[in-house]
Amino acid sequence: MSTKATQNITNILVVGIGGQGVMTATEVLAEVALDMGYDVKKTEVAGMAQRGGVVTSHLRFGHKVLSPQITSGEADILLAFEPAEAARWATYLRPGGVAMSNTTRMTPPVVTIGLYDYPEDPIAQVRALGIDVFDFDAGAIARDLGDLRLVNTVMLGAIADKLPFPAGVLKERILARFRARRPEWVAANEQAFERGRAAAST
C-alpha cells in the first residue's frame, strides 16, 4: 500500500475453517463493493477438506485492481472466523490494520490427524506481534440465536463499521440474499448482524 496506485485499494483477508461460511462472507463483501462502483478481485483457497479444512479468501477492491492476491503485510482487514487461523495469517495484516477474530475454536483435520499442534492461545500469539486484535465469541452469539451457521452473519456485522461503505448497505445485501432464497431466515440474520455489530462496538 505504499504507491499511489495501491493507496486507494482495500485488501480484506477472510480466513477460517470449511463450513463456517468464509467464501460466502467474501462473496457478499465483493457484491457490495461492486454495487458501490469499485473494481473488485477475489480469490479463494480451500484446504484438505471442503468441510473442516482450512479456507482463506482474498478480496481486493478499489479504483483499479490488477491482482486478487494479497501479499504479506498488505491486508487492511483480517477477518478470522477461527482463532488459530487468525494467528496463522496475522503477518498478512499491514501495520495499523484491523484484526477481528471469533474465539470459537474449530479444530481442522491437519490437527486431528497429527500434522500440526493447535496453539495454546492463538489470540495471544497475534497480540505478541503488536497487533491490536478484537476478539469475541461469535459462536456463542450464533448459538444463542439458535443456529451456529449464523456465525457468518455475526462476523460480517462485527466488521461492518470498519469498511469503506455504509454498514446498512452490507446488511441489506445479506438480508436480500435470504429474502430470495430462505425468507424464514431473514429475521435471524438481521439479529445476528446487529448482535455482531454491537459486540464489536464494546
Cβ atoms of 104 and 82 closer than 8 Å: yes
Judge whether residue 5 has pLDDT over 60.
Answer: no
Burial of 201 (0-12, 13-18, 19+ CB in 10 A): exposed
Sequence-ordered list of residues with C-beta below 8 angstroms from that of 56, at least 6 positions apart, any chain = 13, 14, 15, 22, 44, 45, 85, 89
Residue 187's pLDDT is 97
Cβ atoms of 22 and 32 closer than 8 Å: no
Contacts 24+ apart (CB under 8 A), 26-29: 26/57, 26/58, 26/59, 28/156, 28/170, 28/173, 28/174, 28/177, 29/59, 29/156, 29/163, 29/170
Domains of the chain with CATH codes: 10-201 (3.40.920.10)
pLDDT in tens, 181-190: 899 999 999 9
pLDDT in tens, 66-82: 999 999 999 999 999 99
Helices (H) and strands (E) in the chain, counts: 8, 6
Least confident of 78-87, 104-113, 116-125, 164-173: 104-113
Residue 7's pLDDT is 58
Residue 51's pLDDT is 53
Residue 116's pLDDT is 76
pLDDT in tens, 10-66: 999 999 988 888 999 999 999 999 999 999 999 987 654 445 578 899 999 999 999
Residue 54's pLDDT is 82
